Amino acid sequence: MVMVKVAPSILSADFSRLGDEIKRLEREGADWIHIDVMDGVFVPNITIGQSVVKSLRPFTALPFDVHLMITKPERYVKEFADAGADYITFHQEACGCIPSVLDDIHSFGKKAGLSINPETPFNTIEPYMDKIDLLLIMTVHPGFGGQAFMSECLPKVAEARRLVDENGCCMEISVDGGINYNTGKTAVSTGASVLAAGSAIFKAPDMKMEISRWHDL
């Protein structure tokens, strides 16, 4: 049985009090903290960088799942590793040297993640499966929160789960985009083990109860 991990995205947090929001997420039962890093080039939005990640690290012992939506992510692996990331995830579409970046992330003692956009075929990441600790399947087009879940991405989740189960590996399968209780339930039943979500968690009337419900999916 897959144990569901809930990774709230601080993109939906109150940026004027991020430290308090991080502590709140830990208190209410989150498993990971999902941190979206956008450069305004790979995606049409700009968020935060390594200095903010570093400033947030003292507020919790929860794993930081740092999602790099940036061009040439290889330039910043060391900076985010030093800032306190536990998982460093970059996009297949943003990098021409995937194996070396995965190796670089591991060389800093971090977990390596690879993400694919909705239009990217699953077979483009299959050659790297033995090096990936986290596969992040985007279920919206990356760049902005609050988009509708794209169910057409679910076959990728199913295929990833099949390969993980057949090969007995411990790679996490995460979905990110349009995740709420109902879409999360569908994703988990398809094979996801990590749910990255923003507004559905932060806007819940009772965050602790909402996270608990997701753990029971």
**Annotated catalytic residue within 31, 36, 39, 65:** 36
> Who's near 55: CB < 8 A, 6+ residues apart?
19
Distance from C-alpha of 166 to C-alpha of 164, rounded to nearest angstrom: 6
Q: Is 176 a catalytic residue?
A: yes
Alpha-carbon span 87 to 81, nearest angstrom: 9
The token pair at 140 is 């919206």
Which among 150, 33, 132 is positioned nearest to 89, based on CA atoms?
A: 132
Q: Find the catalytic residue in 14, 31, 176, 206.
A: 176
CA distance 36 to 69: 7
User: Is 104 one of the annotated active-site residues of the chain?
Assistant: no
| C-beta separation of 21 from 46 below 8 A | no
Catalytic machinery residues: 36, 176
